Amino acid sequence: MKKFLLYLYRATFWAMLLAMAWQTGMHLWMYYQGAYGYDYGCINEMLINYEGGFVRRGLFGEIFWGVRSIFSFSVAHAIVIIYYIGFLFLAVLLVSLFKRNGWSLFILPFPMCMYVYLCDPYFLIGRRDCWLLLLAYLCFGLYHKYIRTGGGTLFLVLCNVCLIFSVLFHEAALFFILPFIAIHDLNRLYINEGLKRSISRIVFHWGTVFIIAAFVIFYHGDGEVVTNIWYSWAPYLECHVDESLIKGSYMSRTLGGMSLLMNIKSAWEISWFPNIIGRIPVAPFNLYVLACIYYLVTRLNLIDLKVYKLKHINMVALSNSIIIGFLFLAVYIMMTCDWGRDIPYWIICSMSFFHHFPQKDDYPLLVTKVSTYLQDRIDHVALLNNDWVYYILIMTLPLGFLGASISSMFPCLPLQLKHLLIDGSFIVVT
């Protein structure tokens, strides 16, 4: 039976990698068929720059625009290449991280870590997500150096610069990178110096980042800014920039933004591709998804692929990192409702931070008490310490892009293939 389980786990792992290769191949095939032009959201969202005024997510586009004004190349081709380079770097980093820490690789290709890079039919390698997650690891590494050097000014400055770059790159950094650092620093200072002094030191350490983050949130752009951005790119694009392209672009939607109330409604009521199998009440399943992900991540070493020796994990400390990430995930989901992107942000950032701070004493005492209680409860439920139960839960986790949906189960099958089997046609990317 143990040999059978090992073969099953390995076969599933390879199936997930093949599904990832399938999805990558489909994206590239559709790109070369012309499906991803400048009207495609993943392309035009990367064009956001500061030529129409200061606006969120504009730093990359501004740098890219400056480079294109000097060197001649296809902007669309360059963006696709940048996407895949980011994905390659992230994959190498994560595999290295898992191997160094003795974490099971089994969980890595599943949607909770790689949803937009694996299963989603619309997003070409998750837009700028891979690069933001790489920046998260860099920020945590610089902060860790700052702590290890006893408060060296150089690493504090470098960490601030990296955080500012991350926030200007994408405002998600405010919710998935900065909180880990700020909470750890506040807890460390509170223990050593008391509440009043710790708050003033936190403001001194990270106040600039918070101020810039506030500007990024409030300066989210409008129709005039979008128009100016498009016309700044007009001399460099292989297409004609007109009103229909500007108003119909994803850039126009992401800078204008949806209302907070609509996003909250979307996060709890909308299911992704309900026409595939059937609609289910989403809200309770969203809670089920979050509970399952907490369990699957904190117990990731239950499944051993036998590719290298797994190490002991301080599950309370890992749980601490997951819980801190979740507190801010909940806020960000209400602002964006993009579960399929936000959950990988949550998990990968949490595990990256845990890699640098693997001891439970690195986290606030209250969070440690909650983690200890939850992990004790899991320890006392025999089913939750069973390999078969873990495998069934990870294979049937209904994690959809906007929330729980039946169509997201069995992630070894990419969504296009599910459509082919059920509807007789591939998903049409629009």
Report yes or no on 347 lying in a domain. yes
- Encoding tokens for residue 42? 């993943």
> What average pLDDT score do residues 42-47 get?
87
Answer yes or no: is 180 within a domain. Answer: yes
pLDDT for residue 273: 42
- Higher-confidence residue: 199 or 24? 199
Query: Would 430 be classed as within a structural domain?
Result: no
Q: For 128-132, 144-148, 277-281, which range has the lowest pLDDT when averaged over its residues?
A: 277-281
What is the residue range of 114's domain? 2-35+74-220+257-423
**Does 429 reside within a domain?**
no
The whole-number pLDDT of residue 389 equals 94
Q: Is residue 175 part of a domain?
A: yes
Q: Average pLDDT in the 406-425 region?
A: 72
Per-residue pLDDT at 170 exceeds 50: yes
Is the pLDDT reported for residue 256 higher than 70?
no
- 188 found inside a domain: yes
CB atoms within 10 A of CB 186: 18
* Domain count within the chain: 1
* pLDDT tens by residue, 326-357: 998 877 776 666 777 888 999 999 999 999 99
Least confident of 111-120, 264-273, 290-299, 374-383: 264-273
What mean pLDDT is predicted for residues 204-209?
92
Q: Is residue 288 part of a domain?
A: yes
Measure Cα distances from 379 to 198, 299, 320, 387 in Å. Answer: 36, 10, 17, 14
User: Domain for residue 291, yes or no?
Assistant: yes
Q: What is the mean pLDDT of residues 42-46?
A: 86
